Structure 1
Amino acid sequence: MITFEKFEERDIEVLTPILKRAFDEDTRIHLNRPEGGPEGYANGEFLRKWAFHEGVTSFKILVDGKTAGSTFLWINPQTHVNFLGNVYLDVVYQNQGLGQQVWEKIEALYPDTRVWQTETPGFSRRNHYFYVMKCGFKIVRIENPRDLLEANYIFEKVMQ
């Protein structure tokens, strides 16, 4: 069972190694490197910066009561165009359909959303598949498509 709790400062200590494992697994799969992720992903700085960013709604994700990941959302109640900044699960919870359940829960929390937007690195084919095939997003733009490490895929999901 998936539940969300408000992301608190104290969660950084538990979530940092989970985030590191998730990014390192993606880097291992797609770039054949043992580790890698955005600046500060391994020491808590990434979480501290984005979980408490102005305008963000941050949740800790629990699976059967155990901390499994987190998500950062920017919700715009005026335009109803919302942005998924980050969602990740620990590697032990991946490839079990739980990510799709997390996404469905996010959608249910914000039923007035007209459009969801997100982005992910170009090399992360697994994320592309997840967003398009599991969550119903469409690729709307690719930035720096010729540079594997700098490419960025921009996704949108227009809600019914």
Structure 2
Amino acid sequence: MQHDSGDGHVTLEVADERDLPAFKQELQEAFSAALTDEIGSVPEQAIPSGDDIEQSFTAPGAATYHVLLDGRRVGGVVLSIDPVSHHNSLDLFYISLRQHGRGIGQRAWRAIEARYPETKVWQTFTPYFEKRNIHFYVNKCGFRIVEYYNAHNPLPHRPPLEGMPDDGDFFRFEKIMQEER
């Protein structure tokens, strides 16, 4: 893993449906690496599944971007934007494995916040075993853990994911940008 000063300009570029196959493959590769680190292998079904990625990519309110470093694609993000409540969600986010450890994720997150300054609350989820993600969201981006999903408090609106470590437990994070009035 390469560590440097984090030089380079990080921007967001709108992705469209033609980008979905490459986006899906890169995202699954990034997520699979974390699973391999945790359990030594990847479940037969890719995580997240291709269907889950496509649903996020095409959902109402979805905003999908490539993360660019000096104009070169190095990651991607799918957001759910609610223009009425301004309670927005970070649904999928990845940085290419070859680019980890360079501060690109943190700079990409700042670019996302700058693009949506009217956001009151950001929300995201990550698996319990994803220590790198937990560190990133809490210590680098300013999120707080607000809920723990497990067998006694299952994730709403979705069945447990098969083949996940720690029985598929998840955290829900929030970052309050503007206090509600």
Out of 3-12 and 88-97, give the one that drifted further: 3-12
Out of 139-148 and 100-109, give the one that drifted further: 139-148
1:84 aligns with 2:94: no
Q: Which residue of 2 aligns with 1:23?
A: 31
Deviation at 1:46, TM superposition (A): 4.0
Q: Distance in 2 between matches of 1:47 and 1:68?
A: 18
CA RMSD of aligned residues (A): 1.9
Deviation at 1:20, TM superposition (A): 2.4
Quick check: 1:68–1:90 contact (8 Å CA) kept in 2?
yes
* 4+ long deviations beyond 6 Å: none
Larger radius of gyration: 2
Q: Distance in 1 between matches of 2:34 and 2:151?
A: 19
Quick check: 1:122–1:149 contact (8 Å CA) kept in 2?
no
Match of 1:7 among 11, 15, 23: 15
Gaps of 5+ in 2: 1-8, 153-164
Quick check: 2:28–2:48 contact (8 Å CA) kept in 1?
no
Letter paired with 1:4: L
**TM-score (normalised: structure 1):** 0.88
Q: Distance in 1 between matches of 2:63 and 2:56?
A: 10
Query: How many positions carry a matched residue from both structures?
Result: 156
Q: Which residue of 2 aligns with 1:118?
A: 124
**TM-score (normalised: structure 2):** 0.78
Q: Which residue of 1 aligns with 2:157?
A: none
Q: Distance in 2 between matches of 1:19 and 1:51?
A: 12
Gaps of 5+ in 1: none
Deviation at 1:64, TM superposition (A): 1.9
Out of 16-25 and 87-96, give the one that drifted further: 16-25
SS of the aligned residue for 2:54 comes to helix
Percent of aligned pairs sharing the same letter? 36
1:107 aligns with 2:113: yes
Q: Distance in 2 between matches of 1:149 and 1:63?
A: 36
